[in-house]
Amino acid sequence: MNDVIHTVTDGLMGFGSTSGTGVHIKIGASPVQSEEPIIITSANRLEYMTKNLGLSPLRDAVMDSIENGASKIICIPVQPSAQGEIKALEPKITEHSGIVTIDGKPNNRFGIVVKITGRGTLNEASFKYSINGGYTYSEERTVPLSGESELPDTGLKILFTANEAQTYEVEDTYEWQTSAPALTNEDLMKGVNRIRSIKQEAELVHIVGACSADTWAMLSAMQSELQTRYRKPLMFILEAFEKDSRQSMDEYAAALKAARKNVKNYQIQVVAARALYVGMDGLSRDTNAAGIVCGLYGRTAVNKSIGETAVVSLSEDRVLKYLPEGIDDDYIDALDGMGYLTIRQYDGLEGYYINNARMMGPEGTDYRYAEDVRVLNKIIRETRKTALLQLQSDIDLEKPMTDLKAKVQFIQAPLDRMVTEKEISSVEITIPENAAETIIADGTLQLSIRYVQRGVIRNIEIDVGKRNPYAS
């Protein structure tokens, strides 16, 4: 088939071993069935997001992206094959306290805590509850006579059971941990394959929800297919698998180091940053920062680092603390060195910051950071559009270079705009001397694009010392 095909020449920089579009695609678990993608914009209210995406991990990720800068999100809801689960933790109760259980199917991840605040039995005792592990609590309620109390927006209800010999005592505490509905690899494949038919231009794809290294490898292969076969240069944002409660931080870091070997694709970014985060709905939750990261890309020019401290910070009113428990700067630096995106704090600055927007490229790649990849993908997208308008056009074979230079000027026009807009420093398109011969042979015009990127200051070294005013 006639087409414009791009080949990326990597390794030109000699690295050894040692304003975004505001549009991205989000694929995640949702109870909503929709044959068409659902468009969410920054103008939509929370109620609209909830109505169209359900109370789901997909909605939560959309909230995080919108409030951090995304202007438009193409949502692909996928009904999950794996339902959320409920795990009861050891209650902290007195000997003759009543029973409290949880029933239903959780629509998201919750840390549920029920705390008795007033002594008594059914229709007497009072309680408050938390869905974020006890960080915030509801207003006080009376235990209903029926023994059933809905947990709004969770898909769950609390069941109180007490006989005549049982009484709920003040400070009795019952706890559960729920998991969110999860997408299987088959679910993800169906969701990603729907991207093929999306005509609207997008910059990123966010796969919502933690997934394993095997899944990263599968998604990496699908990203490559979308780029090479379907001409869609898309950067994939994935979420690192979570730390098991039985793992130490050393063990978790080792597991991530081993998993890193499964992906060698500079179009893949794996976010290992987690935080207790206050979302648009006012609830704090343990969440991967990938949704936040996608929002930051939406408000940042393609050449800009989302870690630029003077421009991009995350408020401590929203990011309440690092997660998982036990993570510190040493682990953050280690994960950064492996190629994971992490968040950090700086002494002397308020808020949280992206450490480096790392990508999971192979050893020696020129495209180590998201800003490198975003610039590359924009060059591919923009030159494809101008080059497509030159397909089937004719040239004068007596004076081929004259015609070809005119066509190249047309193809180069968007690149010159990128120079003007300071997204790249300079650019040049070269026509090979034998261009006419290849056109005669098989109708193919071969061009090479070489550009100079903008620089990013990642470290500053300052030498400080006293000056003797009398020294010669």
What integer pLDDT is reported at residue 295 of this predicted model? 96
Q: Is 0.75 surpassed by the pTM of this model?
A: yes
Judge whether 298 and 202 are in contact, CB under 8 Å. no
Judge whether 202 and 25 are in contact, CB under 8 Å. yes
pLDDT band of residue 66 (cuts 50, 70, 90) is very high
Integer Cα distance of 234 and 297 in angstroms: 13
Tell me the helices (H) and strands (E) count for the chain, helix number first: 10, 21
The domain ranges of the chain are: 23-81+182-354, 86-178
- pLDDT tens-digit series, residues 103-112: 999 988 899 9
Query: Please, where are the H alpha helices in 421-471?
Result: 435-442
Is the pLDDT confidence value at 11 over 80?
Answer: no
- pLDDT tens-digit series, residues 429-439: 999 999 989 99
Three-state DSSP class for residue 333: helix
Integer Cα distance of 460 and 104 in angstroms: 54
Tokens of 254: 């080792």
pLDDT band of residue 16 (cuts 50, 70, 90) is very low
**Angle subtended at Cα 245 by Cα 239 and Cα 251, rounded to the nearest 5 degrees:** 75
Which contacts (CB < 8 Å, 24+ apart) does range 453-459 have? 453/303, 453/372, 453/375, 453/424, 453/425, 454/303, 454/375, 454/422, 454/423, 454/424, 454/425, 456/305, 456/369, 456/371, 458/356
